[in-house]
A = this chain, B = another copy of it.
């Protein structure tokens, strides 16, 4: 199997961290240089016409894109350690936590950065800086809610580490590009959670 990836981007990092938690080592990593627009080149379009990374190419030739869908497939193949729920009931609650991390943390952070950071201009055309800057209010507002949540529980989905922690951690790592720090904002529980995740071997950036 091959994972087409771009390690510094948040979505590929989600999948790589998910693989690291499960100690999956037999998937070849193929780096796609998105800053050089390699994801828009014909060679990559032949693999994923939607030009997104990551993409998992299976041994039977089938191709799977969309980070969370790739994780669902990997969870089926490598069920230990479980990160997405052992049955439909738990899967639903972890999916809720994961979507909250994605929609209320990763998405607003990405909108700020994609529309305001000069380095992202090649990937987001046209940029709308006023729109981007306005999303910083949402980032802080939602971060405060996650801080409240983490005052009551240890992990994003409750009492164990799951895919939701991976999504939220990769979002905060990406948020460095907008110089957002939970500690500087006074979100101590969010910072303490972030530091717990950062201490895991899977959190080391590749």
- Chain A residues at the B interface, C-beta cutoff of 8 Å: 49-50, 62, 64-66, 68-70, 72-73, 75-77, 87-89, 91-93, 95-96, 99-100, 103-104, 115, 126, 128, 130-131, 134, 145
Contacts and interface: CB of A to CB of B under 8 A. Distances in A.
A126 B115 CA distance: 16
A103 B99 CA distance: 13
Contacts of A65: 96, 100
A17 to B, nearest CB: 18
Contacts of A92: 64, 69-70, 72-73, 76
Tell me if A's interface is mostly helix, strand, loop or mixed: helix
A95 to B, nearest CB: 4
The 8 closest A-B pairs by CB, nearest first: A76-B88, A73-B92, A69-B96, A69-B95, A128-B131, A72-B92, A131-B131, A66-B99
